[in-house]
Structure 1
Amino acid sequence: MNKVRILVFPSGSEIGLEIAAALGHSVHVELHGASSRSDHGALAFSRHARVPNIAAPDFDASFSRLLAQWRIDLVFATHDSVQEYLAPRITGWNSRLVNGDPDASRTARRKSATYALFDDKAWMPRRYAAHGCIDTWPVAVKPDRDQGGKGFRLVHAPAELATALATTDEPVVCEYLPGEEATVDCFTDRHGRLLHVGPRSRERVAGGVAMCSRRMAADAELRDIAGDINQRLRLCGPWFFQVKRDLHGQWKLLELSCRLSSSSALQRAAGVNLPLMAVQDHMGRDLDVLDDPRVSRVERRLATTAVLEHDFDTACFDLDDTLLCDGIANPSAMRLAYRLRQLRKRLVLLTRHPRDPLPALAAAHIPATLFDQIVHLRQGEPKSAHVPASSIFIDNHFPERMEVAGNRGVPVFDVDALDLLFP
């Protein structure tokens, strides 16, 4: 099967990591990442490269060379400025940008351009050219080109407004929208059909990212806004818009974007994998949407990955209270064991289990064949005697870890560290 070669750039953003999760298990995809700085993308993508920032004079040459080297078919841009920059250039580099129409990308990048395009729609917020014509306070001042609420200022009086205008880059002055806020994840296929309209709440926000999102009904008002946007912009792939209710409860547009949103994992959890739909659409397949309404909410948090600077070929596991907890397989230990097996590491089981360990493994539904070697230690026999120098050692018991670390000098880990290793 010929796979679609995908490049995600920048790869270490929340959006890039969501695309990696959405596409990482697809049999149709060969996944690559690139970033302009050191970030988590290098851990999330097995094929990864550093490229200059889009503002650097050598970016075009470096990026086009990388596309050719990896023979990239499709690029996911994960930042609005990157989307706008790549859109008019990407076809000249023999690749394609997801939702990469230059006019749509340019319009979506600027609130002023977006508002001008849809000025005749009832769902547009009121804008003010100057503070002299403002008849209702407070008003909102925000940068024309920022996103996710960055640079937002709530202004209550003319003097405050003058300061906000002087200190905001390319300011846009709008009516203040005090009601609930929603993000609406959408998908348009290559035929221009709007296949998915998925509103969700932004109940807890950190750094512009919704850490708690709840699915909402796609009411007629939101569907009309999505339809109007889809009609006037040339869209193809995932995109989203953000709205808030005004004083009268009517939805008004905040901004829109021609890329995937950072919390679209809620749609994926319900069966609507927007990045994979973009890949399938690129392959020329007509799509249907299978959306499970019983998935209602996602909760997000910071995730931590530890980088181990130690070359090893073997992982040695303890059994009781490490692989097994109260006779049941420990999910964290099992995830790590299978991940290490995927990385072609040898697995060794070192146990002082009071009886034959094989029935205990079988009772916990752990196959003995998972291990290259099972060592049932004699009374007083040190585990370090069976730990190779090119290994890591995992055991819940501190004296055992101390003995192995002292005699073999290999990295040793307690069970609390397992979820940090080898994502």
Structure 2
Amino acid sequence: MLAEHGVPTPRTILPDELDRAPDGPLVVKPRYGQGTKGVHVCRTRDQARVLCELVPEPIAQEYIHGREFTADCLIDRAGQASVILRYRLLVKGGLAVVSRTFTDAQAAERVRETLTATGVTGACCVQGFIRDEQGTDRVVITETNARVGGGFPASAAAGADYVGQYLRGLFHQDIDHDQLTYKPDVTLTKYVETLATSEGTPR
């Protein structure tokens, strides 16, 4: 769908189409899944063929180099979208544990093109890469999720009233996009703690 709307996105190939795969590194992964489970990077088509035998319901995609980002988006019923950009500086299990907000006019426009192409409304997150080289394909979109992104607290910490405006939309009130502006260079680090308990009644 993105390709049909002229939005740069990694070329996707089914296992029986690997002869037409682009030269260079490929990503082989399950067609359905989450996080990084079953995701492999390979250098050749022959390696991709082997991985397609091991990965359930596999697809292969062009490997994209660049800075990975997520856009926290809120689209009202009229189609107006607010886009809050954050780099995915450290990713574990497919989840961004360190994020930093930033601004980039071309990336924001590419995200809006993606939202128009997919027709998503409400809260969603769009992911992609920003390549080092300049040009029309500098920003490449890899996926869109019709849900709140796990790293959205970075957007809230940067000043965007993401939760408040989302709730307004859910209750059929107008979304105030002026409340969804944000500051760049705000960093969020997630901390995961594991607690162990013993048997019996705590004292």
TM-score normalised by the chain length of structure 1: 0.42
Q: 1:275/1:158 Cα in 2 relative to 1: closer, same or farther (>3 Å)?
A: same
Distance apart, 1:220 and its partner CA: 2.9
1:112 is aligned to none
Give the match for residue 160 of structure 2.
272
Instruction: Return the alpha-carbon distance in structure 1 between the equivalents of residues 184 and 119 of structure 2.
Output: 32
User: Which residue is equivalent to 2:10?
Assistant: 125
Residue of structure 1 in register with 2:106 after alignment: 221
- Residues 174 and 126 of structure 1, relative CA distance in 2, 3 Å threshold: same
Assess if the C-alpha contact under 8 Å between 2:85 and 2:108 holds in 1: no
AA matched with 1:172: I
Relative distance call for 1:231 and 1:136 in structure 2 (3 A) is same
Identity of aligned residues (%): 23
CA contact (8 A) 1:184 1:199 kept: yes
The size of the alignment, in residue pairs, is 194
Report what 1:72 is aligned to: none
Q: 1:232 to 1:133 in 2, by over 3 A?
A: closer
What secondary structure, in the 3-state scheme, does the structure 1 residue paired with 2:102 have? coil
Shift of 1:166: 1.1
Shift of 1:259: 0.2
Instruction: List alignment gaps of at least 5 residues for structure 2.
Output: none
* Correspondence 1:184 to 2:71: yes
- Counterpart of 1:297, as a letter, is T
Q: Post-superposition shift, 1:169?
A: 2.2
1:267-416 equivalent positions in 2, closer than 5 A: 267-288=155-176, 289-290=178-179, 291-293=181-183, 296-304=186-194, 411=203
Residue correspondence of structure 1 range 121-270 to structure 2 within 5 A = 121-129=6-14, 130-194=17-81, 196-217=82-103, 219-246=104-131, 248=133, 250-270=138-158
Which blocks of at least 5 consecutive residues in structure 1 are unaligned? 1-116, 311-409, 412-423
**TM-superposition CA deviations, 1:25-68 (whole Å, max 9, x none):** xxxxxxxxxxxxxxxxxxxxxxxxxxxxxxxxxxxxxxxxxxxx
CA distance in 2, matches of 1:197, 1:227: 8
For 2:147, give the aligned amino acid.
R
Deviation at 1:264, TM superposition (A): 0.6
SS at match of 1:215: strand
Q: CA contact under 8 A between 2:7 and 2:113: conserved in structure 1?
A: no
Q: Does the residue aligned with 2:13 lie in a helix, a strand or coil? A: coil
Secondary structure, counterpart of 2:110 in structure 1? helix
Contact 1:177 1:245 in 2 (8 A): no
Select the structure that is richer in strand: 2
Distance between the aligned counterparts of 1:135 and 1:189, measured in 2?
38
Residues 142, 283 of structure 1: CA spacing in aligned structure 2 closer, same or farther, 3 A cutoff? same
Cα-to-partner distance string for 1:320-353 (whole Å, 9 max, x where unaligned) = xxxxxxxxxxxxxxxxxxxxxxxxxxxxxxxxxx
Larger Rg: 1
Hey, what's the Cα distance between the residues in 2 that align with 1:122 and 1:271? 29
Closer, same or farther in 2 for the Cα pair 1:175/1:297, shift >3 Å? same
8 Å Cα contact 1:239-1:258 kept in structure 2: yes
Alpha-carbon deviation of 1:256? 1.0
What is the letter of the counterpart of residue 119 of structure 1? A
Whole-Å Cα distance in 1 between the matches of residues 192 and 20 of structure 2?
A: 44
Counterpart CA distance in 2 for 1:176 and 1:207 is 18
Q: Partners of 1:132 and 1:164 in 2: how far apart?
A: 15
> With structure 2 as the length reference, what TM-score do the two structures score?
0.82
Q: 1:60-79, aligned counterparts within 5 Å?
A: none
Cα displacement (A) at 1:177: 0.6
**How far is 1:136 from its partner?**
1.1
